[in-house]
Chains A and B, each alone.
Chain A
Amino acid sequence: MYQYDEIDQKIVDERVAQYRDQTRRYLAGELTEDEFRPLRLQNGLYIQRQAPMLRIAVPYGMLSSKQLRKLGDIAAKYDRSYGHFSTRQNLQLNWPKLEDVPDILAELATVEMHAIQTSGNCIRNITTDQFAGVAPDEIVDPRAMAEIMRQWSTFHPEFALLPRKFKIAVSGTKDDRAVVQMHDIGMEFYIDADNKLAIKVWVGGGLGRTPILGSVIEEHLEWQHALTYCEAIVRVYNLHGRRDNAYKARIKILVKALGIEEFKRQVEAEWAHLKDAPNTITEAELARVSQHFEAMPYAALPADDTSFDAAIASNPAFSAWAKRSLHAHKMPGYRAVTLSLKPHGIAPGDATTAQMHVVADLAEQYSFGELRVSHEQNLILADVKLSDLFALWQKARAHGLATPNVGLLTDIICCPGGDFCSLANAKSIPIAIAIQQQFDHLDYLHDIGDIELNISGCMNACGHHHIGHIGILGVDKDGSEWYQVTIGGKQGNDASIGSVIGPAFSAEEMPSVVQKLIDVYLKERTPEELFIDTVRRLGVAPFKAHVYAIKNSAKEGVVA
């Protein structure tokens, strides 16, 4: 993975000093609450319901063992010995003290980490596929370009105070796992007909209050223009995006208002001036950064391993875990492994200090000392030998990191919600836990099969509810917490936004609502259909009818 040189290190060190002084001025009363807000947000510090929340950047989800160990230590020293991995592949601490944040940043800087631009109206952490560099279907490893874009976007002076937050995702596979169409800018790297690296660019996607899939603005952009082309897009947005209404300030609203044709025309008019400007990426820079992402020193292994096969055959629990948690690898004899942060009954995405230390050790022992955070809020060891998997599983299981539910109903994507977040309309973690308890039966979960259930506590959609096969959105009605349900959302190349099935439900009703949706699927599915396929084939109607049937008859009962 990328290693800092002295220039990178100096920037994070200077940032610590800058933020330390900003905090000092705030505490001394030299900065008002309103003046400090954009400054602390640009550094990932929110003031929450109970305490501040600090969001630490994990660029494109990559971590070293050393870094994860440090994150665990920081959680123990400054927080309550746990952290929350977010859908932007970052780590959030829920209980730090505002006055401790400069010290936390100083500790992060010792392991080449920071909290720069993890919040605020600026270019946020760039995300990508958690299997980048190891996936067999990968065409281009997008991480070098993601790193080049990270550096470019860090303290970009022109884009320091945008109308609203700005999210970029990159991918290098045909089968998109980075949800690029749901981002302000999405970039798919590919090899063009001349065998050159090129980019397909989407703009104006996003979730939030107004979910929109991005529009293609450029089918074929030569790689060296990635930064200047983004500058053209973000400049048009910076100048013309709405600043009067935070709910209409994302670039998607501008793209929609102008139409993609007119927006593209304006971007191209800007780019005519920017193309080939000094920020054009050089071959040398791409080569320099790419060296950090070269293939690991893999052993030459056969495609199969007899000890692994024997363990699968003899140990049903290992077999059940392996079935859900292993992913194909470009190298024979290797697998990528997902460690589930979704044991039933724990807030999805949470990891304790002890667990972070265990995962750091496992990564060191079995996966070249590196790991990744997925936007599904799990941890990935990307390069594990088949022959090591059984030992890894035993250790992971002993620490609650081997729930065999990856990709199943209880592998819930979930924001921190009303328990922590001051933006939330409703709690989300208790809903996730109640659903996990309703479906706390592994054979049944495996029978239901691949399904994505996403929960957001408000329309800001940190839990990506719009693209969950089942999406749950917390809403506020007259001061009480209700939950709106959508079905038919999907991430990937054939992404779609879910449809609302009807009026919202109370928290108590939610497990049975999900149960009824599953009942309809199990009754109606063809042998090869997943939940999403059945929803797409039948539409919302039969699901809606069943979910509301009893509710309606119960109401009539009351009236009678």
Chain B
Amino acid sequence: MSNLIINDAIANDEWTLVNLPASQVEERKQAGKVVLFKLTGEKTVTDEQIAGTVIPAGGKIIVPLSVFIARKAELQTRIATNEIGVWIATHEFLEDLTKNQADLNALPLIAVHVERFADGRIFSLGVLLRTRYGYKNELRAIGDVLRDQLFFLKRSGFSSYAIRADRSAVDALASLKDFTTPYQGAVDEPNPVFKRYHRGANG
């Protein structure tokens, strides 16, 4: 059975996730001089990894951002037929995507990969994709995605969730409805509670 939730129901996954091959290069630690690299401390993708990524010849595929940028020429005709989605890691910059793909809505799917449950950058990336960059198509959370993120992911603009393989997506559905009347405006409901309801001084 599929472990994918689209909107608020279990759905079949039409997409194949394309991963980078494992890097032979040792991960860079915190010693870098570039401020942002120091601040994020994330590994970077090597040219060898990009070149070595196996892109399936047919079907709908979600490719890594670095591969999408570097090998866009190979993908161009398939973008036109709605076969190409892009996934970004939480430490990558959305600007790198928008610089290379001015019209995000030409992509039927964007996924954000969260390596660890506790990495809340995924929420800001969802919010920015929806509000800043006007992305309207499927926005999917992938990686360490568990039910207790779902309510926040939904409010941050995500529309589908690939629940980690060892957990039940059916059970997870319930958590999309953890709260019925959230306080603050967010992507799914831009108005805060004080603009949605008339709240008297004592209820």
Contact = CB atoms under 8 A, between A and B. Distances in A.
B131 A5 contact: no
B120 interface: yes
A241 B155 contact: no
B123 A240 contact: no
Contact of A288 (B39, B183, B200): B200
A279 B190 CA distance: 8
Contacts of B199: 5, 7, 285, 288
B35 A158 contact: no
B152 A157 contact: yes
Contact of A22 (B41, B148, B203): B148
Interface residues of B, number: 51
A94 B22 CA distance: 46
B185 interface: yes
Given A35-B146, A152-B192, A157-B156, A162 B120 contact: yes
Contact of B183 (A11, A239, A277): A11
B85 to A, nearest CB: 22
Nearest to A228: B185
Nearest to B116: A243
Nearest to A4: B203
Contact of B41 (A159, A244, A279, A284): A244
Given A239-B121, A242-B41, A278 B183 contact: no
Interface in B178-203: 178-186, 190-195, 197, 199-203
A240 B146 contact: no
Contact of B194 (A155, A162, A282): A282
Contact of A282 (B180, B195, B202): B195
Interface magnitude class on chain A: 35 or more
Contact of A239 (B124, B132, B174, B186): B124
SS class of chain A's interface: helix, strand, loop or mixed? helix
A151 B181 CA distance: 12
B184 A279 contact: yes
Nearest to A42: B148
Given A155-B183, A157-B152, A284 B194 contact: yes
A160 B117 CA distance: 11
B121 to A, nearest CB: 6
A154 B183 contact: yes
B39 A157 contact: no
Contacts of B38: 257
A238 B124 contact: yes
Contact of A161 (B39, B123, B127): B123
A14 interface: yes
Interface in A379-437: none
A147 to B, nearest CB: 11
Contact of A10 (B117, B127, B146, B180): B180
A25 to B, nearest CB: 9
A111 interface: no
Contact of A273 (B40, B131, B152, B183): B131
Interface string B12-51: 0000000000000000001000011011111000000000
Given A151-B183, A157-B151, 15 more contacts: A3-B203, A5-B199, A7-B197, A18-B178, A121-B118, A121-B120, A156-B186, A158-B186, A161-B119, A238-B121, A239-B125, A243-B119, A278-B191, A279-B184, A288-B199
Chain A to chain B: the 10 pairs with minimum beta-carbon distance, closest first: A161-B120, A5-B203, A157-B155, A244-B41, A285-B194, A157-B152, A278-B185, A291-B201, A151-B183, A158-B123
28 contacts: A7-B181, A7-B197, A11-B181, A11-B182, A14-B179, A15-B179, A35-B146, A39-B148, A121-B118, A155-B183, A157-B184, A158-B127, A158-B186, A159-B120, A160-B152, A227-B192, A235-B127, A238-B121, A240-B40, A242-B40, A244-B40, A245-B41, A273-B132, A278-B192, A279-B184, A285-B194, A288-B200, A291-B201
